[in-house]
């Protein structure tokens, strides 16, 4: 293999330039990274560029032609009432979903961080909703929520809590809270795992020292554990928040955005604009807008990551 470059020196080949190129670590590094970059640029870089470009075009469904329309897709979008209603729904879906996952995931991690019997079995069980397919989760919950034969309505009626079945997925008031519960079920394990990992970084000496100084459990948690968890929480929150902002599958399979667009969120709107309405230009502008919003959060995420790296390096 000519490309092999031992870290110890070798006798120079006859062509100095080629030798230098092959010996240089940069060259080797680029060579090794190349396959990843090819895949990523084909499937990531080019599509981003293409979406942004297409957002400035009108693409009539009936013909393959496209026409430059400047910012008019954006103006149409920002002027339409449905866009703002969808945005409202998206926030109504994203914020409670993210907070809910924390409200369950953090206590789960704190409980499982103690030496309990069957700890690792419990952790495995809690993680099942998170590993199984979102499609399976959506179907199971649709069945649980079923207005005539669902488990939830069955019990609520049998116990006499309600007289008539609740329309979990068919009432404009209940639909988003019902979907949020499914999402929390699916994502709280993620918060749990991340928090558990964060807890391992809390130095035990500090906790012991505080304990000797007479700090109680609650005091130690707020004074020592919580500050250590801050970064983990921030990163987990952002990751989850962003993935909820762009979420598609749960509402799509459970309600299709209904009833009366009450659970229509960004991703569903973009999908239907593009693949039902065949307005690829408008949908691209829509994507770009969402992309810009996500990018804002992503910048924060990267800042946090690099700041951590800076501290540790």
> Which of positions 132-191 make contact with other proteins (CB under 8 A)?
132-137, 139-141, 143-144, 146, 148-149, 151, 154-155, 157-158, 185, 188
The least CB distance from residue 197 to other proteins, in Å, is 3
Site string for other proteins, 294-313 (x = CB under 8 A): xx-xx--xx--xx-xx--x-
Give the total of residues touching other proteins (CB under 8 A).
120
Report the site for other proteins in 268-287 (rule: CB under 8 A).
270-271, 274-275, 280, 283-284, 287
12, 21, 42, 80: residue in contact with other proteins (rule CB under 8 A): 42
Mention every residue, 6+ apart, whose C-beta is less than 8 A from residue 4. Answer: none
* Only segment of 73-81, 94-102, 117-125, 255-263 that touches other proteins (CB under 8 A): 117-125
Among residues 125, 162, 227, 230, the one that binds other proteins under rule CB under 8 A: 125
List, in order, residues 6 or more apart from 149 with CB less than 8 Å away: none
Instruction: Considering the complex, state which of residue 128 and residue 260 has its C-beta at the smaller distance from other proteins.
Output: 128
Three-state secondary structure readout of 78-143: HHCHHHHHHHHHHHHHHHHHHHHHHHHHHHHHHHHCCCCCCHHHHHHHHHHHHHCCHHHHHHHHHH
Q: Which of 22, 99, 174, 239 binds other proteins (CB under 8 A)?
A: 239
User: Closest approach of Cβ 99 to other proteins, in Å?
Assistant: 16
Between residues 107 and 261, which has the closer beta carbon with respect to other proteins? 107
Segment near other proteins (CB under 8 A), from 2-10, 11-19, 74-82, 167-175?
Answer: 2-10
- Using the contact rule CB under 8 A, the part of the chain among 48-56, 71-79, 83-91, 168-176 near other proteins is 48-56
Is the Cβ of residue 26 or residue 173 nearer to other proteins in the bound state? 26
Nearest C-alpha neighbor of 247 from the set 300, 197, 294, 191:
294
Mask for 82-101, x = binds other proteins (CB under 8 A): --------------------
User: Near other proteins by CB under 8 A, which window of 26-34, 71-79, 88-96, 172-180?
Assistant: 26-34
Among 16, 115, 160, 214, binds other proteins (CB under 8 A): 115
Closer Cβ to other proteins, 87 or 113, answer by number: 113
Q: Is 215 in the site for other proteins (CB under 8 A)?
A: no
Contact 299, 278 (CB under 8 A): no
- Closest approach of Cβ 299 to other proteins, in Å? 9
């Amino acid at each position: 293999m000519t490309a092999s470059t031992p870290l110890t020196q070798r006798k120079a080949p006859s062509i100095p330039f080629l030798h230098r190129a092959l010996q240089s670590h940069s060259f080797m590094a680029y060579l090794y990274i190349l396959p990843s970059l090819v895949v990523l640029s084909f499937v990531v870089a080019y599509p981003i560029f293409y979406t942004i470009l297409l957002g400035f075009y009108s693409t009539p469904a009936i013909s393959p032609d496209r026409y430059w329309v400047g910012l008019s897709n954006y103006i149409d979008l920002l002027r339409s009432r449905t866009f703002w209603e969808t945005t409202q729904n998206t926030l109504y879906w994203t914020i409670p979903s993210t907070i809910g996952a924390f409200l369950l995931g953090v206590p789960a991690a704190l409980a499982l961080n103690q030496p309990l019997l069957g700890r690792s079995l419990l952790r495995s069980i809690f993680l099942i909703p998170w590993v199984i397919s979102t499609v399976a989760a959506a179907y199971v919950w649709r069945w649980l929520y079923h207005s005539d034969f669902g488990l939830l309505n069955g019990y609520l009626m049998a116990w006499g809590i309600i007289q008539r079945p609740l329309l979990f997925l068919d009432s404009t008031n209940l639909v988003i809270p019902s979907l949020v519960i499914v999402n929390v079920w699916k994502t709280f394990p993620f918060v749990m795992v991340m928090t558990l990992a964060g807890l391992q970084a809390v130095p035990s000496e500090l906790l012991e020292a505080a304990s000797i100084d007479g700090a109680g459990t609650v005091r130690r948690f707020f004074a020592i554990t919580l500050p250590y968890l801050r970064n983990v929480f921030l990163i987990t929150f952002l990751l989850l928040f962003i993935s909820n902002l762009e979420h598609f599958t749960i509402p799509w399979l459970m309600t299709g955005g209904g009833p009366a667009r009450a659970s229509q969120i960004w991703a569903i709107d973009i999908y239907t604009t593009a693949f039902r309405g065949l307005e690829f230009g408008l949908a691209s502008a829509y994507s770009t807008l969402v992309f810009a919003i996500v990018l804002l959060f992503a910048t924060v995420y990267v800042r946090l990551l690099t700041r951590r790296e800076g501290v540790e390096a």
